C-alpha cells in the first residue's frame, strides 16, 4: 500500500460520523450497494461459523412500523438502505456440520481432514461452557460485521449511523424472527448526509493515541 492509499483511508475515517439526518432523495447506487453487501458477506467470524443474518429493510411501511421502536430516530425512514443485524439464538451440531460440509465442497478436501476442527467447535460453542451463552457470542460476531461494513462504507463515501437505540424484541416481532433461531442485535442506516445535518460539521472527539494504544 502506498502513502496515497494510507492517507485516503485515514481521510475516509476522519470524514465519517454517525449521520443523524439523511437525504432521502439520494440513493446508494446498485453497484456500490453490491460492493457493500459483498464486504458484509466477507466479514471474518470466529471459527468461520457466520452465526448471523442481515435483514435489508427497504419496504417503507415496514420501516415506518419500526420507527416507534427506534426511539423515533428518523434515520430509519430517511436513509437509503437500512440493515438489521440478527444473531443466532443457539449453536447446534447441525450448524457445525453445515460449515464442515460447505468447506469440503468449496476447498475440495476430504471431510475427514476436518474432524479435529469439527470436534473443537462442538466442544466449545455447542457443548462447551460458551454454548450456554451462544447468542451473546453470536452478537459479538454481528459487531465485527457492523464495524467492517461501516469502514467499507466510509471508504466508498457512503454515510452510516449505527443504531443500538432500538427495541430488539419489537424488531423481532415486526420482522417475523420469533422462532426463527435469530434475534435482533443492532441496526445500521446507510445513505448520504443531508446538507443541514449539524453533526457533520462537528470536530471528531477521540482520546489521544497515548491514552488508547499500549505497546507491551
C-alpha cell at 108: 475440495
User: What is the set of domains in the chain, with CATH numbers?
Assistant: 3-212 (3.40.109.10)
Confidence category of residue 4, pLDDT binned at 50, 70, 90: confident
178-213 residue pLDDT tens: 999 999 999 999 999 999 999 999 999 999 999 999
Q: Kindly tell me if the per-residue pLDDT of 1 is higher than 70.
A: no
104-113 residue pLDDT tens: 999 999 999 9
Strands 81-88 and 159-163: unpaired
* Bridge partners for 18 per DSSP: 160
70-113 residue pLDDT tens: 999 999 999 999 999 999 999 999 999 999 999 999 999 999 99
Read off φ and ψ for residue 196, nearest 5 degrees: -90, 5
129-173 residue pLDDT tens: 999 999 999 999 999 999 999 999 999 999 999 999 999 999 999
Closest CA to 141 of 87, 206, 102: 87
Amino acid at each position: 500500500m502506498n502513502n496515497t492509499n494510507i492517507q485516503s483511508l485515514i481521510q475516509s475515517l476522519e470524514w465519517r460520523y454517525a449521520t443523524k439526518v439523511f437525504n432521502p432523495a439520494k440513493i446508494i447506487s446498485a453497484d456500490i450497494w453490491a460492493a457493500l453487501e459483498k464486504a458484509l458477506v466477507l466479514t471474518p467470524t470466529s471459527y468461520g461459523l457466520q452465526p448471523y443474518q442481515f435483514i435489508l429493510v427497504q419496504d417503507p411501511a415496514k420501516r415506518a412500523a419500526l420507527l416507534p421502536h427506534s426511539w423515533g430516530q428518523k434515520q430509519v425512514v430517511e436513509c437509503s438502505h437500512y440493515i438489521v443485524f440478527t444473531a443466532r439464538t443457539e449453536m447446534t451440531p447441525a450448524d457445525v456440520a453445515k460449515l464442515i460440509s460447505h468447506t469440503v465442497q468449496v476447498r475440495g478436501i476430504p471431510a475427514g481432514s476436518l474432524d479435529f476442527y469439527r470436534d473443537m467447535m462442538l466442544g466449545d460453542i455447542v457443548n462447551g461452557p460458551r454454548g450456554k451463552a451462544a447468542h451473546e457470542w453470536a452478537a459479538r460476531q454481528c459487531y465485527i460485521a457492523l464495524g467492517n461494513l461501516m469502514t467499507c462504507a466510509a471508504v466508498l463515501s457512503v454515510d452510516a449511523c449505527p443504531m443500538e437505540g432500538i427495541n430488539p424484541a419489537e424488531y423481532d416481532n415486526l420482522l417475523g424472527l420469533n422462532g426463527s433461531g435469530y434475534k435482533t442485535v443492532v441496526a445500521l442506516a446507510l445513505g448520504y448526509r443531508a446538507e443541514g445535518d449539524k453533526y457533520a460539521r462537528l470536530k471528531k472527539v477521540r482520546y489521544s493515541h497515548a491514552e488508547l494504544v499500549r505497546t507491551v
